[in-house]
């Protein structure tokens, strides 16, 4: 029987500049929430994720939430930082050049910087690897439903994440999925994933200093 793991695909530490979740708190809270794997996806920063990946007692994978002129993208399985405000196509090229995966986070959330206006175009291009179909900080369930429909429409796998910027949010959304070791194994395992999540529209939003 294939081992299953719980994976939160979208988390932020204080390195993001708008989060109060310290790296050590993230690890502790992830363990308490029963998570096996977390993607640390700080805004325009990968150092905290890299340090946690080398020392944490939980499997930490390196990602980055990257702002582009058209909205935010998630890069997963990264090895180095990608600068912000580059054109969408260049960001996608840089993610793939690292062997990483391109994910569309909260594509239809109007409160945050999202790529909803070009989401169909991006997915149809074949250059998007996954869509975040459940974000625990989405303002409404309808926002996540639209993201799930986008993924279905283009035959793309879906991810889920707490998008936690505070300790209480860690693990509010995650995937229960077959274990994996590489980006391609992760993509394949997403096809058998089960989304578990609770909306936190009340979640605090922290301004950058």
CATH of the domain at 104: 3.20.20.140
Whether 61 maps to a domain, the answer reads: yes
Whether 180 maps to a domain, the answer reads: yes
**pLDDT tens across 32-59, in order?**
999 999 999 999 999 999 999 988 789 9
pLDDT attached to residue 205: 62
d(CA 109, CA 20): 22
Whether 55 maps to a domain, the answer reads: yes
pLDDT, mean over the chain: 94
d(CA 99, CA 107): 23
Whether 203 maps to a domain, the answer reads: no
**pLDDT tens across 52-105, in order?**
998 878 999 999 999 999 999 999 999 999 998 899 999 999 999 999 999 999
Whether 133 maps to a domain, the answer reads: yes
**pLDDT tens across 129-143, in order?**
999 999 999 989 999
Whether 209 maps to a domain, the answer reads: no
- With a cut of 80, say whether residue 113 has pLDDT above it: yes
Residue 46 to residues 32, 51, 79, 112, 154: CA-CA distances in angstroms? 24, 9, 8, 21, 30
Whether 82 maps to a domain, the answer reads: yes
DSSP state letters, 127-170 = ---EEEEEETT-SSHHHHHHHHHHHHHHT--EEEE--BSSGGGT
In this prediction, what percent of the chain has a pLDDT beyond 70? 95
Sign of CA pseudo-dihedral 112, 173, 35, 150: negative
Q: Which of 66, 34, 37 is nearest to 190 (CA)?
A: 37
Whether 132 maps to a domain, the answer reads: yes
Query: CA triplet 18, 168, 206: central angle to 5 degrees?
Result: 20
Report residue 11 as tokens.
């988390």
């Amino acid at each position: 029987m294939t081992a299953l793991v719980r994976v939160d695909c979208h988390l932020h530490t204080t390195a993001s500049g708008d989060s109060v979740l310290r790296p050590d708190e993230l690890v502790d809270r992830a363990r308490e929430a029963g998570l096996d794997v977390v993607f640390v996806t700080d805004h325009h920063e990968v150092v905290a994720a890299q340090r946690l990946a080398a020392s944490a007692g939980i499997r930490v994978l390196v990602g980055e939430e990257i702002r582009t002129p058209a909205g935010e993208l998630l890069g997963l399985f990264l090895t180095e930082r990608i600068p912000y405000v580059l054109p969408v196509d260049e960001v996608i090229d840089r993610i793939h050049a690292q062997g990483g995966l391109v994910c569309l986070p909260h594509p239809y959330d109007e409160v945050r910087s999202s790529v909803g206006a070009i989401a169909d175009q991006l997915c149809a291009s074949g250059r998007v690897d996954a869509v975040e179909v459940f974000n625990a900080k989405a303002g409404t369930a309808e926002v996540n439903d639209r993201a799930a429909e986008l993924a279905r429409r283009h035959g793309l796998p879906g991810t889920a994440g707490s998008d936690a910027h505070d300790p209480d949010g860690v693990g509010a959304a995650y995937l229960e999925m077959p274990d994996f070791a590489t980006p391609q194994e992760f993509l394949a395992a997403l096809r058998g994933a089960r989304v578990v999540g609770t909306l936190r529209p009340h979640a605090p939003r922290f301004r950058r200093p």
